[in-house]
Amino acid sequence: MLRAPRMATQALLAQVAVLVVVLGAGLAVTVGLLRHSSETQYEQRALAVARTVAEDPVVARRVGVGSDPGGAVEGLAESVRRRTGMLFVVVTDRHGIRYAHPDPAEVGKEVSTPPTALDGRDSVSVQRGTLGVSARAKVPLRTADGAVVGEVSTGVRVGTALEAAAPLIHDQAVLSTGALLLGAGVAVLLTRRLKRQTHGLEPAELAELLREQQAVLHGVGDGVLAVDPSNRITVCNEEAARLLGGAIPPGTALPDAGLPPPVQRVLAERQELCQSVAVVGARMLVMTSQSVRRGEQDLGHVLTLRDRTELDELERERSALRALSDALRAQAHEYTNRLHTLSGMLAVGDVPDAQAYLRELAAAPLATEGRDGARIADPYLRGLLAAKTATASEQGVELRLDGDSHLPGRLIEPLDVVSVVGNLLDNAVRAAAGGRRRPAWAELGVLAEGDTLHVAVIDSGDGVRDEDVERLFQRGFTTRSAGERAGHGIGLFLACRLVTKHGGELRLGQAGGAEHGAVFLATVPGALERGPRTGTKAQRQETHGGVQ
């Protein structure tokens, strides 16, 4: 079974066929018009010559008196024929007897067609006679008194007319051929462009591809954003429009699309990404991007977006809860150790030492102070400090609370604040442990101002290098060695995002000082409950119970 030609080939053949038909018809019409025009011109020329001969009084007189055919009439007619290039100049009387003819043997004989000008009217036509096909003119031959005594017939060979029109026909043929070649060339170029634009796909394949594209774009849960090689948006599905804050019409130039900087940078720079995380407004998006090619041809770039904001929130909450559970375990272990110590002292009767031990515990920085209860009332933050104190102690770092710290109320978003403070303390403890100053320490300061929480974290480390100041809060930035970077570089980035989410600010207060390392300052508006706290007696006792 013969395979049907491809769409591009069919289009080319159709265009060439149309050109051939149109140009062929045009050439035929032109040749016909030129031939008709040329024949008409020669008919008029033959008519003019015939009239000239008929107006000669010698010819009319000799034919009118019935003199012998030939003689002066034939000489005059032959002279006119040679001068004008006529095929023939024939003079006949009323009975059709030739008085002049190019062939002397025909003189005196009757013409092959009866005379038609005896009625006194001129006539022109194209006829076939003894000398072949010719454009003929017949004119009545009149005497001086107007009587018709015969006719003058002249003719031009039709071939002569066509020969005269041949240059025009040749030029028209050349022009038509050139137009055909030009049209065929343009058709080939258009066909090649069509093949490039459709990548060699047939209409059925294009229709199937369109159906698949619509099914994929509207069926997947990921956002899809694509640009062509000239950086114009070609695809933006509903999910991408939702994640980016609005639909982008196809054909929009990338700089005019109003995309968030991380997304625009990936598309503009043609970055190849796999599961890369970026912050877009209040959303945490996972981006995967790759170039699209067909063979060696660049078709553009495609970016897929997946919203993991809720997943990130759950992960952060899980981490915070795990930190709190670790704190509770550490606190329970610490309580057990202290109770065992006190029990031993009392068992041996060492009451003064037991009392001194209790006074030492009461003076601990995170312990309950005074009648007003703990300086930090929120149980989440107290639990975090207990856990971080134990962790810091394991690294040889003393974690302490600033003497001016005061937080009488509970946190409205405790998990967010715990994440911020926890990340700042982790960085501070690591910097202090790796610094040159000894003993190593890290200090936390918290202060309530209305519903705004102020946090300050300082350490004894070596501080932040000048070249790292601008990159501190960028995702993935870390001062760890190359072998330790996996999984790090997100603490400060995450803390900054959480503070910004609440309309606050996280900044580097000082890069370092003579007696301390870096100082980080955070302001979190709306983080605290307003007004006096209310709750059950058990809740108030928990709030004022402190951290032991």
Q: Tens digit of pLDDT for each residue in 339-371? A: 777 788 888 888 888 788 777 766 554 443 333
Same domain assignment for residues 399 and 539: yes
Same domain assignment for residues 347 and 244: no
Same domain assignment for residues 507 and 393: yes
Q: Is position 347 within any domain?
A: yes
Give the H or E element holding residue 510.
Answer: strand 505-510
Q: Where are the beta strands (DSSP E) in 335-482?
A: 397-401, 440-449, 452-459
Domain final residue, candidates 307, 325, 341: 307
Q: Is position 186 within any domain?
A: no
Structure-block tokens of residue 116:
């038609």
Same domain assignment for residues 91 and 160: yes
Q: Is position 1 within any domain?
A: no
Read off the CATH number of the domain in which 508 is found: 3.30.565.10
Q: What share of the chain has pLDDT > 90, as a percent? A: 11
Q: Is position 209 within any domain?
A: no
Domain final residue, candidates 257, 273, 307: 307
Same domain assignment for residues 242 and 364: no
pLDDT in tens, 465-521: 888 888 787 766 666 554 444 444 567 888 888 888 888 999 999 988 888 999 999
- The rounded distance, in Å, linking the Cα atoms of 44 and 47 is 5
- The rounded distance, in Å, linking the Cα atoms of 89 and 155 is 7
Domain final residue, candidates 289, 307, 325: 307
Asked whether 285 and 277 are in contact (CB, 8 A), the reply is yes
Asked whether 16 and 187 are in contact (CB, 8 A), the reply is yes
Average pLDDT over residues 431-439: 92
Which residue segment(s) compose the domain that 468 sits in?
A: 313-543
Q: How many domains does the chain have?
A: 3
In this prediction the pTM is: 0.45
Same domain assignment for residues 454 and 335: yes
Same domain assignment for residues 330 and 301: no
Q: Is position 217 within any domain?
A: no
- The rounded distance, in Å, linking the Cα atoms of 39 and 193 is 48
Residues forming a β-bridge with 253? 232
Same domain assignment for residues 349 and 365: yes
Same domain assignment for residues 303 and 323: no
DSSP state of 512: -
The 10 Å CB-count burial string (b at 16+, else e) for 294-331 is eeeeeebbbbbbbbbeeebeeebeebbeebbebbeebb
- The rounded distance, in Å, linking the Cα atoms of 24 and 17 is 10
CA distances from 520 to 26, 282, 449, 455 (A): 87, 23, 18, 8
Same domain assignment for residues 372 and 462: yes
Average pLDDT over residues 214-227: 68
pLDDT in tens, 251-310: 888 888 888 888 888 888 888 888 777 777 667 788 888 887 767 777 788 888 888 776
pLDDT > 80? residue 47: yes
- The rounded distance, in Å, linking the Cα atoms of 372 and 362 is 14
Q: Is position 367 within any domain?
A: yes
Q: Is position 171 within any domain?
A: no
